[in-house]
Structure 1
Amino acid sequence: MKMEIGGEWDLVLRRTQKRKFLEICEDSRFSMEELNQDLLERVLSWLPTSTFLRLTSVCKKWKSMADSATFRLACSQVPFRDPWFFMVDSDPQLSQHPVVFDSAEKNWKKLNPLPLVQPKKNQESCSNYIPVAASGGLICFHSTNGDFTVSNPVTGSTRLIPALNSISQLPILAISMTANSERFKLVLILGHIPNLLFKMYNSSTDQWEEEIPLNQKINSYGEAEKDDEHLQYFLTSGNVVSADMQRSPFKQYSSALTVENGEEILYFLSSSGTVVSCNLTHKLFFEYPRLLPVFSEYSIDIVECGGQMYVVLLSEFFESASIRVWKWDQNMHAWQQIAAMPPASSHKFYGKKVDINCSGAGDEMLVCLNSAEVCSYVMCNLVRNEWTELPHCYTDDDKSREFVCAFSFEPRIEADI
């Protein structure tokens, strides 16, 4: 009986001590309002962008903070934001209601319509803009009449780029961009292989720089390197289905820009499906060996992930579809497979004439697969070779939205244009 009483007394004593401890903590607790402005901004700058935007409705002080120069400076010091993927609709009518996939919260989010361009005087309507490149917190749009505009999808701020000069008469083969907290650059590859050149826009000067020719890389024998000199086909047997390479018009300027050993290298796909490498630092270009024989590519795309360029290829053989990711091994001078979708998942794309379009961020890439019969979005972790199909996105009237491609960007409130 004494033991029972003692046990109950110990329990009461512990509860009393816990309550006193909580009372002390409650007395020492302070509210966010007691933080000085500088410290408060530093704390809030580390919140995920979607969380901060929701919290702006808490009070006028927090709402006004989004426009504070010191808060934007604090946000710029956050080294990395979990990327959002700006989705491109197959239906132009729905493009007025942009949607992003939040890779951190793993859900779809609606954005406010982007005021890309206002109609000029004596014009009845605006040009039709489509996204063509993204970097940092910005997305570049290209219009049907050849204009460019850059926008921050989070804040809606937009900047119209000065028109190109006469060189714009050459066909554009690839469009890419780089952006940091101080400026952004657009890079265009123009011309016809082997007569290529690149042209760059610099936001700090607000003008296009002079075009620079690209010379074809010469090998040790004094000859221009050609893709048929080092043919390599990863399918050496089986029943390969011949088909025209599928390309979405939204990705006709698809490119991947990397920095390797201090050299800027832009990759794009030629009209025949070969990967073309343009070394902007040394002003050289060459074509990589083909992954499949000519007329055998089914659908191919390039993507930048973690500072590396990868090729994603969908092909058909043995009455099944295969989606594989390849990386160029400079030492072996050959393509190396680094990831592949499990056959059980890729088989459903067999015979569907699927167009594959990719967007990368860090170790992950979002793969959009589209055709008249199927529409699917898959997130792939290249390090773990994990493939996860994303849920469908629905309109307000419960209709499934079909996206043809995506552009990854960091949701940065401070991204200035």
Structure 2
Amino acid sequence: MELNNSQSKRTSLKRKSPENGDCLLSNSGSLDDLNEDLFERVLSWLPTSTFFRLSTVCKRWKSAADSASFKLACSQIPSRDPWFLMVAPSLSQSIIFDSAESSWKRLNHPPPPLQEDSNQSCMPVAASGGLICYRQSSGNFILCNPVTGCRRYLPPLNLAQQNQPLNAVVMSSSVSTYKIVLVFGELPFLSFISYDSNNGCWEDETALRRTVDDNSMEYDSSDDNVVYFLSKAGNVVASNMQRSPSKQFSSVITNKDGEEIVYFLSSSGTVVACNLTSKCFSEYPRLLPAFCEYSIDVVECNGEMLVILLSEFLESASLRVWKFDEANRSWHQIAAMPAAMSHEWYGKKADINCVGVKGQIFICLNSPELCTYVVCDLRTKEWIELPKCCIKGQVMEFMSAFSFEPRIEAFV
């Protein structure tokens, strides 16, 4: 279902002359003349939104959606333009932004929170490939393909693990398998546990040791019952309030030279790197002094961890993208929002919640006064503000987004 202010591109089924280079069908033949195998391979290259629109053309097109051979053909498509599942304050929306068509849409299959007839609240916490991971208020997890509505309830964690502070939830996936990693504990006592779809169970908990050359700050874990978040003054504040609960486990996973590394934000706003392969962790140096006002998030782009930072300095706001140089143990700026765009956020006490996909970063900026969605293209250094999402004349506000590829063949 298309929403207001969409700019979707429609695909025409009209026959065009052969000399027209962008024709879908020519006078010399028709898709109906193709054998089933070739017909499904052609359909598999269509953008997902276009395929679902065209599946109403005839019974043959509609039946392809349920065909095992068609799903196999779809799985052989290297990548698809991402969709972004938007998270509203109520956690009860099923709105996505389709980057292929630059339009807002409703999901045909609402996520688990809208389908469950229970008192369990549920929110998205991670995404990879064509799947999204949801966490229930009980601490259990659900895997869901948002395009088809297929889902799987993962085995519950044991009570000891559920009672530990949860720092990070990350997910990685391939065509037919997926893996979920949870990082538990209070610094410097961290451990992780993972679920592998090949085994169908949670593996044993593994402790992480601090690297010898990690000159980290001292930690105070005197009160394990207090919920911490990073205030706009950069201090650790005790509270039971958080603007974006879906991003409280904001984290990413990368694979460098065969080593899996999970990155997450500590309660004091520093980046913690957990090497799952060597079973150790380290804490990166601060980007800004603790007394500076800022909002921070981590993303993964092209296999690298990046940090996005919104800060204020000399009566102006600045939103910048940073990369960590492992050799020199220092941060380097790689992109910055134009001052004309970032200045409007000065004094607004805004939060940023970001997600990376390929060479782009999708950023949700929220404040009590403004709500904007921006895409930063790291290849071209362009910053593009997305159109507003309107439902029944009302502009929707979203706190965060999760990126996934719309794949009907994604297995749960």
Shorter-chain TM band = 0.7 to 0.9
- Cα separation, 2, equivalents of 1:73 and 1:113: 22
**1:85 and 2:84 matched:** yes
Count of aligned pairs:
372
**1:383 and 2:374 matched:** no
- For residue 296 of structure 1, report the CA deviation from its aligned partner: 2.0
2:215 to 212, 225, 230: 225
- Cα separation, 2, equivalents of 1:254 and 1:195: 19
Kindly report which structure 2 residues correspond to 1:7-86, keeping only aligned pairs within 5 A, or say none.
Answer: 29-86=28-85
Q: Deviation per CA, 1:152-200, whole angstroms, max 9, x where unpaired? A: 1111111111100122211111000011112111100001100000000
Give the SS at the match of 1:91: coil
What letter corresponds to residue 39 of structure 1 in structure 2? L
Distance 1:118 1:251, change over 3 A: closer
- For residue 125 of structure 1, report the CA deviation from its aligned partner: 2.4
Q: Deviation per CA, 1:216-258, whole angstroms, max 9, x where unpaired? A: 0112xxxx43259xxxxxxxxxxxx835578622200010111
- Cα separation, 1, equivalents of 2:253 and 2:319: 23
Distance 1:188 1:27, change over 3 A: closer
Give the SS at the match of 2:383: strand
What letter corresponds to residue 386 of structure 1 in structure 2? E
What letter corresponds to residue 367 of structure 2 in structure 1? S
- For residue 383 of structure 1, report the CA deviation from its aligned partner: 2.0
- Cα separation, 2, equivalents of 1:361 and 1:117: 25
**1:144 and 2:144 matched:** no
- Cα separation, 2, equivalents of 1:361 and 1:100: 15
Say whether the 8 Å CA contact 2:299–2:354 is kept in structure 1.
Answer: yes
What letter corresponds to residue 169 of structure 1 in structure 2? N
**1:178 maps to which residue?**
172
- Cα separation, 2, equivalents of 1:115 and 1:351: 36
The range that moved more, 110-119 or 251-260, is 110-119
- Cα separation, 1, equivalents of 2:111 and 2:381: 39
**1:237 maps to which residue?**
none
**1:249 and 2:245 matched:** yes
2:404 to 402, 409, 412: 409
**1:272 and 2:268 matched:** yes
What letter corresponds to residue 226 of structure 1 in structure 2? S
2:390 to 386, 394, 403: 394
RMSD over aligned CA atoms reads 2.2
- For residue 112 of structure 1, report the CA deviation from its aligned partner: 2.3
1:202 to 196, 202, 215: 196
Distance 1:127 1:195, change over 3 A: same
- For residue 91 of structure 1, report the CA deviation from its aligned partner: 3.1
What letter corresponds to residue 70 of structure 1 in structure 2? S
Q: Deviation per CA, 1:16-45, whole angstroms, max 9, x where unpaired? A: xxx9x99xxx99712211111000011111
Distance 1:70 1:287, change over 3 A: same
- Cα separation, 1, equivalents of 2:281 and 2:333: 24
Larger Rg: 1
TM-score with structure 2 length normalisation?
A: 0.86
- Cα separation, 1, equivalents of 2:301 and 2:36: 37
- For residue 205 of structure 1, report the CA deviation from its aligned partner: 1.8
**2:14 maps to which residue?**
none
- Cα separation, 2, equivalents of 1:322 and 1:160: 42
Say whether the 8 Å CA contact 1:119–1:125 is kept in structure 2.
Answer: no
2:163 to 156, 169, 173: 169
Runs of 4+ with deviation above 4 angstroms: 117-120, 243-247
Give the SS at the match of 1:344: helix
Distance 1:249 1:372, change over 3 A: same
What letter corresponds to residue 362 of structure 2 in structure 1? L
Gaps of 5+ in 1: 1-18, 229-240
Distance 1:370 1:57, change over 3 A: same
Say whether the 8 Å CA contact 1:188–1:198 is kept in structure 2.
Answer: yes
Kindly report which structure 2 residues correspond to 1:322-361, keeping only aligned pairs within 5 A, or say none.
Answer: 322-361=318-357
Distance 1:262 1:382, change over 3 A: same
Gaps of 5+ in 2: 1-16, 219-231, 237-241
2:370 to 353, 367, 374: 374
Say whether the 8 Å CA contact 1:119–1:126 is kept in structure 2.
Answer: no
TM-score with structure 1 length normalisation?
A: 0.85
Give the SS at the match of 2:340: helix
